[in-house]
Chains A and B, each alone.
Chain A
Amino acid sequence: KQEVTQIPAALSVPEGENLVLNCSFTDSAIYNLQWFRQDPGKGLTSLLLIQSSQREQTSGRLNASLDKSSGRSTLYIAASQPGDSATYLCAAESYNTDKLIFGTGTRLQVFP
């Protein structure tokens, strides 16, 4: 059974800092891994999708890496801004279950 966890659960930082959000998964036979952003009371915004054959994806100030052997993915946010404040969710889809399982989320607050 795939289990996905994220640390830290919450993070509060001043504007401008570079951030690292961590995601761990127990079943390394994953098909892909996605990072999402969720604003309070809103739906999901897909940020980055890493296919099994890839090691990282980049979009603007965001970079996500995938290490299947260690069961980890990292989301790197460069030069954080107050507008980055949201909950960040990672989700892994594994071959064994054919389902997308979500992590526990990291609630990020970037203050001016």
Chain B
Amino acid sequence: GAVVSQHPSWVICKSGTSVKIECRSLDFQATTMFWYRQFPKQSLMLMATSNEGSKATYEQGVEKDKFLINHASLTLSTLTVTSAHPEDSSFYICSARWTSGSEETQYFGPGTRLLVL
């Protein structure tokens, strides 16, 4: 299957700082990537859809000014958590959509664990 990487795999930061997470599709091009957030013992919640060359589409309740998404190329999307606070501590997972003919699927990255002190 296709490979999606995330960097860093974990990060600890002080409250008020900004953190950037990278999501890369290593062996295919993805015009669409997705960012999810998962709190402990909960399921994945979609935060936003990242579209190459255009603005991201955010889900209801997700602050676009706090979670900045940039999809500058067909293989890279970045999520920046600005002015992070302890309540932003979570597991962030990205996925990249692979399309072939009439079939498509999402391949997921290994996740980034963020801890804000």
Contact = CB atoms under 8 A, between A and B. Distances in A.
Contacts of A43: 93, 108-111
Contacts of A101: 46
A105 B111 CA distance: 18
Interface string A84-100: 00000101010000011
B65 interface: no
B42 to A, nearest CB: 8
Nearest to A100: B106
B105 interface: yes
B5 to A, nearest CB: 11
A99 B46 CA distance: 8
Contacts of B103: 51
Chain B contact patch, size range? 20 to 34
Nearest to A91: B44
B43 interface: yes
A90 B111 CA distance: 18
30 contacts: A31-B104, A32-B104, A34-B105, A34-B106, A36-B108, A41-B113, A42-B110, A42-B111, A43-B93, A43-B108, A43-B109, A43-B110, A43-B111, A44-B93, A44-B108, A44-B111, A46-B107, A49-B105, A51-B103, A89-B43, A93-B106, A99-B49, A100-B34, A100-B46, A100-B106, A101-B46, A102-B36, A102-B45, A102-B46, A105-B43
